[in-house]
Amino acid sequence: MLLDFNKLGAWKWGLTAICVLMALFLLLPILFIVGLSFGSSRWLIFPPPGWTLKWYAELFADPRWLGAALTSAKIGVIVMVLSVALGLLASLALVRGTFRGREVLRAFFLTPMVLPVVIVAVALYAAFLRLGLNGTLVGFVIAHLIVALPFAIITITGALETFDPAIEDAAILCGASPWEARLRVTLPGIRHGLFSAAIFSFLISWDEVVLAIFMASPSLQTLPVKVWTTLRQDLTPVIAAASTLLVALTVLLMIAAALIRKGKSE
């Protein structure tokens, strides 16, 4: 009775109301930023007295915003490639390996996801001070790779677990070398998992704030670091414009991920 929506009676409306209110609570702040970014009030009056594109003009006119966005994109793409490559190898070991202690290794791979990011950030900051990697592209990539890798491993092991190794064996019996079998049979077989892992890895790097704050230098910063430093000075609508573009990109990538999932189920 409580698990049959149509037999809930009056409770049905109560639950629906809570759901709708919660959805509004989650959605309205995001729509609010989008609205602000087109509003003409510098003092963030809402609803705005008029509409304008000047905050976007200001955003694109400032080379530091554009530079930060390019840096973020560059780091995101490198992290994406490395995270999928290392994640694929690690997943092969976890799913197809025969060595002992695979469960321990899996748990080890996932620890960076469990620890508070601030601890990883401070620890890496100290290590990079010694190695001279703070404020470098390499430093950013390593830091983001540490937190993106667990997500790639979860996604790719999930795909590998549902891919029957017998298909790979069949290719080998038909004369393929083991590497040929892996590259031309298994990889295409788990491509949905690889694409999802790539999207997740990119998004994690692209959105990451805490590690980036510690890795950044005045000459090299990512988009979230630029937002962070600007936010601490004032709440200018330029941030709303930047945030709106970030939301737009997220929506596009989410749609891409959903299409991949749909393609897989068909």
Restricted to residues 181-240, the positions that interact with other proteins (CB under 8 A) are 181-182, 186, 203, 207, 209-210, 214, 224, 227-228, 231-232, 235, 239-240
Q: How far is CA 189 from the centre of its chain?
A: 23
Residue nearer to other proteins on the CB measure, 73 or 172: 172
Cα–Cα distance, 183 to 193 (Å, whole number) = 15
- Minimum separation from the CB atom of position 112 to other proteins (A): 6
Site membership for other proteins, residue 259 (CB under 8 A):
no
- Minimum separation from the CB atom of position 45 to other proteins (A): 8
47 preceded by cis ω (within 30°)?
A: yes
Site membership for other proteins, residue 9 (CB under 8 A):
yes
Contact 246/223 with Cβ under 8 angstroms? yes
With 0-12 CB in 10 A as exposed, 13-18 as middle and 19+ as buried, what is 202? buried
Site membership for other proteins, residue 16 (CB under 8 A):
yes
Residue 117 tokens, joined: 């990011």
Q: Which of 71, 168, 190, 221 is close enough to bind other proteins by CB under 8 A? A: 168
Give the interface size with other proteins as a residue count (CB under 8 A).
93
| Integer CA distances (angstroms), 253 to 75, 100, 163, in order | 17, 38, 25
Q: Which of 73, 77, 137, 247 is close enough to bind other proteins by CB under 8 A? A: 247
Residue nearer to other proteins on the CB measure, 60 or 108: 108
Cα–Cα distance, 53 to 158 (Å, whole number) = 44
Contact 102/94 with Cβ under 8 angstroms? yes
Amino acid (one-letter) located at 84: V
42 three-state secondary structure = coil
Residues whose CB is less than 8 angstroms from the CB of residue 142 and which lie 6 or more positions away in sequence, other chains included: 124, 133
Residue nearer to other proteins on the CB measure, 139 or 220: 139
Residue 124 tokens, joined: 């890496």
Residue nearer to other proteins on the CB measure, 1 or 218: 1
Q: Which of residues 78-137 bind other proteins (CB under 8 A)?
A: 86-87, 89-90, 92-94, 96-99, 105, 108-109, 111-112, 114-127
- Minimum separation from the CB atom of position 235 to other proteins (A): 6
- Minimum separation from the CB atom of position 107 to other proteins (A): 10
Q: Which of 73, 77, 137, 172 is close enough to bind other proteins by CB under 8 A? A: 172
